[in-house]
Amino acid sequence: MSDKRGKSGGKARAQILTTERKREIASAASQARWNKTKETVSVVSVELDSIKMSVTKLSEKDRQSLLDYLLLLRQDEKPTSDQERKLAMWTDSLNLALSKMLGQTHRIFPHVLLPQARKILKDVTAFMKENDLGNLKTGETKAMYNLLAKILVNHASIVSAKARIPLSMKLVVQTTTPVVSLFDNHFPGYVKSKLIMQVLIASTSGITGHNDDEDD
């Protein structure tokens, strides 16, 4: 009887030791993972600082190319909806167009103006669908956004000059008229002739032949 109790007690102690050992191993593994994570974060931080430094040395054209590339990479990500990705592309295009008009560096789109930007994007989307441009590839869509943003900013600059008020993003989003009207004023006859894609191709080649200073 005592032998059985002794064996039973020995098994219980062995199980306790085994459980404690497992906890020690798990704890050690967890600590090792955390140390590895800290090392990775440290390396990434250094790499990000290096990347940021390199980006500041790029020309405006190269920075835009980099932004376009990053946007292309984001098309396969799932954290945001397709509309949110398009909004990010659209606001980036507005920023780029205004920055070029003002001769300033690329900047972050004002968060407070996002509701107006969404409203304009709906008009842009409708304009593109009505003209058989609703199924463009991501790069082509970004190019169209860049073209339309340039037209919108050009329109705002004319309003700014006539009213003698500063040109700003707020003015751009508040003075917008229907996109189809602005496009037709900028490129007369192309909408009716269904040649918008040809304008897009020409604009990406830098041969639109339109004078941006021309009053609409």
0.75 exceeded by pTM: no
- Asked if residue 41 and residue 88 are part of one domain, the reply reads no
Residues 6+ away with beta carbon under 8 Å from 199: 147, 187, 190, 208
- Asked if residue 87 and residue 105 are part of one domain, the reply reads yes
Judged against a pLDDT cut of 90, whether residue 165 lies above it is answered with yes
- Asked if residue 114 and residue 66 are part of one domain, the reply reads yes
- Asked if residue 74 and residue 49 are part of one domain, the reply reads no
**CA dist., res. 69 & res. 84, Å (int):** 17
**pLDDT grade, residue 128 (50/70/90)?**
very high
For the chain, what's the residue count? 216
- Asked if residue 4 and residue 71 are part of one domain, the reply reads no
C-alpha distances (whole Å) from 100 to each of 39, 84, 180, 191 are 41, 24, 23, 26
176 secondary structure, DSSP code: P
- Asked if residue 65 and residue 53 are part of one domain, the reply reads no
Give 166 or 22, the one with higher predicted confidence.
Answer: 166
Q: Which domain holds residue 30?
A: 1-57
Q: Per the domain annotation, does 73 fall within a domain?
A: yes
The answer to whether 148 and 183 have CB atoms below 8 angstroms apart is yes
